[in-house]
Amino acid sequence: MSTEVSEPASKVDLAPGASGSGEIPQFDITLRVRRYDPEVSEEAYWEDFELTMYGTDRVLDALHKVKWEIDGSLSFRRSCAHGVCGSDAMRINGRNRLACKTLLKDLDTAKPITVEAIKGLPVEKDLIVDMEPFFQSYREIMPFLVAKGHEPSAERYQSPEDRERYDDTTKCILCAACTSSCPVFWTDGQYFGPAAIVNAHRFIFDSRDDAGDMRLEILNDKEGVWRCRTTFNCSEACPRGIQVTKAIAEVKQAVLTRSI
Amino acid sequence: MAATTEFVPPRSGRIDAKYNRVPGRKGNFEMLAWLFMRISGVFLVVLIFGHLITNLLVGDGINGLDFGFVAGKWADPFWQFWDLAMLWLAMLHGTNGVRTIINDYADKDRTRFWLKGILYFATIVIITLGTLVIFTFDPCIPGSPLEICK
């Protein structure tokens, strides 16, 4: 970004008309949203919204614009709106992403932008799905520290190398983008799913944890790690850039070495 | 008042029954199946390319392939064992592959049951027949021009 001219120290000094930030480009988009309202109809349908958006807007801003200015009945989840809470995972142009991290200008604005609920989980209304099955799998792998022995009187030490071992999988925000992008999960929802395995990985490879064996036993299930077909959909979908498929492979390896 | 539609409020503790995992049998079957696929895969690469090279490239190549050629190969225990290993590994490797595909794509338990039933039946028939042929093969069919039959 060396071509950019640095802004003056104080904006008060700006000459009238000379805008330091420049005009933000505007463009028109068509937002095509998958609507579903069981109180009205059992059928889901596509609805188009024509919007004028700014170059700095995200898909979430477009959804806000629809909800606040056009159709208040549009339902979707969002909390922090800044890619941290993981509430607004949805299928945008056929790919699982966070609406709050997807800039409109990065999508093809010449075509309608499709937005639908994530797949494989029961849709409740519009873009909201029932996350319970997802969290049920998450709870089953015991996503908490289990340490043997007495309560320590000081903190539990861990070397930077040991911490590094599972660093990647600590980044998970439980948005379900990975699990709901997995074709094996789509079939019958029985598979534990990438997110549960990622969170198991986070504790299995934590040197302070003592329940790794139990978690490996849980994931050695017929619906566990062995149902992974390494299609890499999960790694591609993860908004946090976690190497999900790699983590699953490491858990597979751990189950294998434990048994042999 | 008009008839209201049945509506279950969200997160009322219910989970669609299809998501509830039935506790599976304990054991390492899936792990061993996964491991078998990798190991048999490596062996099959050697076995199949060996088979293709000896049958299609060495000597007269594809033109030398006839009943007598196969008879000659199966007179040798080495090739008997080679073909037997190839048959068993390829069949089990393929069957397990199709089994996973059925598991992944059939969404009803009934469909799964029947598809797998047909699959296992076909596998058993082919393996039994193939094994039988390799071990009971008699090159001397009536009117055989082969040397050893005279």
- On whether residue A5 sits in a domain, the answer given is no
Q: Are residues A177 and A251 in the same domain?
A: yes
Q: Are residues A153 and A232 in the same domain?
A: yes
- On whether residue A154 sits in a domain, the answer given is yes
CA-nearest of A77, A186, A227 to B19 is A186
Q: Are residues A191 and A107 in the same domain?
A: no
pLDDT band at residue B3 under the 50/70/90 scheme: low
Q: Which of B5, B16, B31 sits opposite A122 (nearest CB)?
A: B16
Chain A nearest CA to B96, separation (Å)? 13
A226/B31 Cβ within 8 A: yes
Percent of chain A with pLDDT over 70: 92
CA-nearest of A91, A200, A95, A185 to A133 is A185
- The number of folded domains in chain A is 2
B chain contacts of residue A187, beta-carbon cutoff 8 Å:
103-107
Given A129, A157, A172, the domain boundary residue is: A129
Given A73, A104, A129, the domain boundary residue is: A129
In one-letter notation, the amino acid at residue A238 is: C
Q: Which of A39, A128, A255 sits opposite B31 (nearest CB)?
A: A255
Range of the domain at A222: 132-257
Segment A116-173, tens digit of pLDDT: 999 999 999 999 999 999 999 999 999 999 998 888 888 889 999 999 999 999 999 9
A220/B31 Cβ within 8 A: yes
Helix A244-259 to helix B29-52 angle, to the nearest 10 degrees? 100
What's the mean pLDDT in A86-94?
96
Which residues 73-92 of chain B have a CB within 8 Å of chain A?
A: none
- On whether residue A212 sits in a domain, the answer given is yes
- On whether residue A121 sits in a domain, the answer given is yes
Above 50 in pLDDT, residue A1?
A: no
Q: Are residues A25 and A122 in the same domain?
A: yes
Above 70 in pLDDT, residue A68?
A: yes
How many angstroms from the chain centroid is the CA of residue A182? 13
Q: How far is it, in rounded angstroms, from Cα A26 to Cα A52?
A: 7
The answer to whether residues A193 and A185 touch, using CB atoms and an 8 Å cutoff, is yes
Segment B86-140, tens digit of pLDDT: 999 999 999 999 999 999 998 888 999 999 999 999 999 999 999 999 988 887 7
**ipTM score here?**
0.79
- On whether residue A24 sits in a domain, the answer given is yes
Q: How far is it, in rounded angstroms, from Cα A71 to Cα A81?
A: 20
Q: In what order do the strands lie in the sheet with A45-54?
A: A45-54, A26-35, A113-116, A89-92, A95-98
Percent of chain A with pLDDT over 90: 84
Q: Are residues A159 and A204 in the same domain?
A: yes
Which is it for the CA torsion A190, A193, A195, A196, positive or negative? positive
Interface probe for A, chosen from B6, B12, B104 (most Cβ of A below 10 Å), is B104
For chain A, give the mean pLDDT. 91
Can you spell out the DSSP letters for B37-99?
A: HHHHHHHHHHHHHHHHIIIIISTTGGGG-SHHHHHHHHTSHHHHHHHHHHHHHHHHHHHHHHH
Q: Which of A130, A189, A226 sits opposite B34 (nearest CB)?
A: A226
What counts of helices (H) and strands (E) characterise chain B?
A: 4, 0
How many angstroms from the chain centroid is the CA of residue B127? 9
Q: Are residues A123 and A136 in the same domain?
A: no
CATH classification of the domain holding A185: 1.10.1060.10
Q: Are residues A174 and A147 in the same domain?
A: yes
Q: Are residues A65 and A166 in the same domain?
A: no
- On whether residue A7 sits in a domain, the answer given is no
Q: Are residues A88 and A143 in the same domain?
A: no
pLDDT band at residue A12 under the 50/70/90 scheme: low
Percent of chain B with pLDDT over 70: 86
- On whether residue A2 sits in a domain, the answer given is no
Q: Provide the pLDDT for residue A9.
A: 60
Above 60 in pLDDT, residue A19?
A: no
Q: Are residues A143 and A223 in the same domain?
A: yes
Q: Provide the pLDDT for residue A182.
A: 96
What's the mean pLDDT in A87-112?
96
Q: Are residues A62 and A101 in the same domain?
A: yes
Above 90 in pLDDT, residue A228?
A: yes
A38/B5 Cβ within 8 A: yes
Given A129, A163, A181, the domain boundary residue is: A129
A226/B24 Cβ within 8 A: no
Above 90 in pLDDT, residue A82?
A: yes
- On whether residue A186 sits in a domain, the answer given is yes
Q: Provide the pLDDT for residue B150.
A: 66
Q: Are residues A125 and A142 in the same domain?
A: no
Lowest mean pLDDT among A55-64, A190-199, B62-71: B62-71
B16/A133 Cβ within 8 A: yes
Question: What pTM was computed for the model?
Answer: 0.85
Coil, helix or strand at residue A32: strand
In the numeric block, which tokens belong to residue A223?
Answer: 């619906």
B18/A190 Cβ within 8 A: yes
What's the mean pLDDT in B76-87?
94
Segment B108-122, tens digit of pLDDT: 889 999 999 999 999
pLDDT band at residue A96 under the 50/70/90 scheme: very high
User: B114-150: buried (b, 16+ CB within 10 Å) or exposed (e) per residue?
Assistant: ebbeebeeebeeebeebeeebeeeeeeeeeeeeeeee
A chain contacts of residue B16, beta-carbon cutoff 8 Å:
122, 130, 133, 189
First to last CA, chain A: 54
Segment B47-78, tens digit of pLDDT: 999 999 988 888 787 888 888 888 888 888 99
Above 60 in pLDDT, residue A4?
A: no
CATH classification of the domain holding A103: 3.10.20.30
